[in-house]
Structures are given as C-alpha cells and as structure tokens.
Amino acid sequence: MSESLLPTAIPDFWAIIPAGGSGTRLWPLSRESSPKFLHDLTGSGQSLLQGTVDRLVPLCEERFMVVTGVPHVDAVREQLPTLGFDNLLTEPSRRESLPAIGLAAAILEQRNPAAIIGSFAADHVINDVVAFCECVTEAVHVARAGKLVTIGIEPNHPATGFGYIKVGEELPVDGAPRAREVDAFVEKPDGPTAEEYFESGAYWWNAGMFVVQAKSLMDMIAHYQPLLAEYLRAIAARPLRLSELWPRLTKITIDNAIAEPASVDGQVAVIPATFSWDDVGDFASLATLLMDRQDEPGVKVLGESSLVVMKDATGVVAPGSGRTVVALGIKDVVVVDTMDAVLVTTRDRAQDVKKLVEQLRLDGRAHLI
C-alpha cells in the first residue's frame, strides 16, 4: 500500500494494545506460555502483535503502550525492540480487560491530559490499513467530544461467538460522517437470537476496539467502578504500589463495566468498519485466512506445505513437529501437529477445542496448555 494514501499521524493519539489471554480455541498452536498474538498465523512473516503495531504506526507513530503478563514480557520486547521501556506495562496477574486498559489510561492521563487513547487487541487480523486508519480517525473526532467510541463490524452471518452493538441514530460530528449513537451492548446470543439480530440490520458485532479521551475513560471508571479508578490512579501516581494494589482490582471487562452502562446513559458512539476483520477465534476462522495450496484446492496449510499430503481430503493442517502429516478421505479436517501434542478435529467442532483444554487441565496435564 502506498504510504501517500495513509492518513497522517493524529496529535496526542496513543494506541493501547492489551496482549493477554492464551487463545485456548487454537490449542495446541496457542499455549499459555506462547499465546496466539506472538505467532504468525497468516503466513505474513509477522506475528499478530507485530501486525497490530504496524497498522497503527501511521496514526500514532511511536506512541504505543502494550500491556502484557509477566510470562510474555521478554517475547514482547523481542518482537517490538523499539517499544519504549516505560511503554510496556506488566500485569502481575490476569484481571480482564478493564484493569489493563484502565492502567494505561491512568498513566496517560497524568502524562498528557489531552491524550486520546485507542485500545486494539493484539491478536486480530485487519488487512485494509487505509480503511482502518480512516475509521479510527473518525472515532478520534467523536472521542474529542467526550464520547466512548467503538468500531462496529457489520455482520455477514448470524454469529453466536461475538457480542453485539445495537446501533442508534446518526450522530452529527464534524470529521465523522458515519458516526452513530449506541443504544446498547448485548452479550453473545444463542442461535435464534443471533438470527434475529442479523435479519434486523440494527446490530453490529462488537470487535472490542475503543477510542476515548484518557481522562474521559478514567472519569467513567470513577463513576461506574469508583474503587477501581481510585486504585488505578494510585498505581499511576506511585508505580511501586502495583504489586500491592493490583490483586485488589476487580476482574471485569471494559464492555461489562463501562460500555454497557455508558451506552444506556447515551455516552457511547460507534463507527462502522469499512475493512475486513477477523479475531482468529478458532481453527475454522484461521482456515479462512490461509491461502489454498495450489496443488490441492480446499487444503489450508500453516507451515511447511511439503510436510502435508492430502488425498480426497480438505481442511486445515499445521505441521509443527517436522513430521509428515497425511490425511485420506476426510472432509474439513483440522490437524495440528506439535512436538508434545496432536489435535485432530473438524472445522465445525473448532469452537469446542476450548473444552478439551479445560479437560486437560482437570486431568492434571496443565503442562500441555
């Protein structure tokens, strides 16, 4: 993509990248010690984390904050060698998305009261960088008016794996012609409800991307979760209190704690995405991101294709142990071969891999996850 087409950097705009989770639906590729955001899952030559940073650079230049867990600090530093020392925040333990995003917001509120923050997950795939930057730029214009802004994905099927945003009236804001009010955030629906949402056209997928003034977010947290805001601001003021106060923080997502009640109070807006988006949530999703092998249509390979032999078979194969993987007469198979575990399932059961991971944990095989 020509650099001349990219939007210019936005003054006072900071990108926050929560880099956590273990991606259990992508086990055994993704593990607690090496989660999916550290992997190249698209064959691009970059990890998902590196790809996230690259598409944000045109908007924020060097203004990044990455929030990750203790086990992943070294890997994040290795993958992002230019990240400022003070811009990598370490979570002593998992506390869900709001404490992670909120801590970065509290720090930036102190550094720069005019700061606008955008929170973008480390493990999503977005290919159209220009369209992405244009949507974020619109979101910043709305955020400057004091709103919490999300970017909504117009659904192309009735998915049950995503939360939804109920879209309201148009919102007149200069520089953001597509801005809409948000009437409500709703949880992941069952099949019939998802079908209703899809048919109505009034609901968009919630991709978990938020743009807001750092001070506005902290004020919202102070309103809806006052003790959490107090602790976050205390840590920002005195970082040595992190180990003392972090365990006291409520485990809660930004969606549940802030977006849901704030939307009821008319404080949330949405910009419709004009780009393709995938959260690489399972192997069925991963398969759609990989190119077909030229010599075997219908087969998706993550890794060395010469190690895969398929006859009258389709699906996705990840040969990671160096062994040859052979499949015969199986449709929509998923085979993931690693040094210590092999997964064999089908694409329509991809969402259930998470249940197997939990079973391994209960069986005392936590070393595998």
Whole-number Å distance between alpha carbons of 196 and 202: 10
Domain boundary among the residues 231, 254, 278 is at: 278
CATH code of the domain in which 113 resides: 3.90.550.10
Strands 203-213, 164-170: pairing is antiparallel
What does the pLDDT look like over 121-136, one tens digit per residue?
A: 999 999 899 999 999 9
* Strand 315-319 to 116-119 pairing: unpaired
Q: 128 and 268 in one domain? A: yes
Q: Over 90: is that where the pLDDT of 346 sits? A: yes
74 and 101 belong to one structural domain? yes
Six-digit token string for 187: 């949880």
Residues 330 and 222 grouped into a single domain: no
Q: Side by side, which strands form the sheet with 292-293? A: 292-293, 296-301, 315-319, 333-337, 342-346
Band (2; pLDDT cuts 50, 70, 90): very low
Whole-number pLDDT of residue 21: 80
Residue 291 has pLDDT above 90, yes or no: no
Same-domain check for residues 181 and 237: yes
**First vs last Cα of the chain: how many Å apart?**
38
Dihedral (C-alpha) 5, 7, 9, 11: value to the nearest 10 degrees? 160
- 205-233 pLDDT per residue, tens: 999 999 999 999 999 999 999 999 999 99
Same domain, yes or no: 132 and 201: yes
Domain of residue 346: give its range.
291-368
Q: Residue 48's pLDDT is what?
A: 97
On the question of pLDDT at 6 being above 90, the answer is: no
- Over range 19-34, report the average pLDDT: 90
Say if residues 148 and 210 touch (Cβ distance below 8 Å). yes
Same domain, 362 and 220: no
- Is 178 inside any structural domain? yes
Identify whether 241 is part of a domain: yes
pLDDT over threshold 60, residue 295: no
Same structural domain, 246 and 312:
no
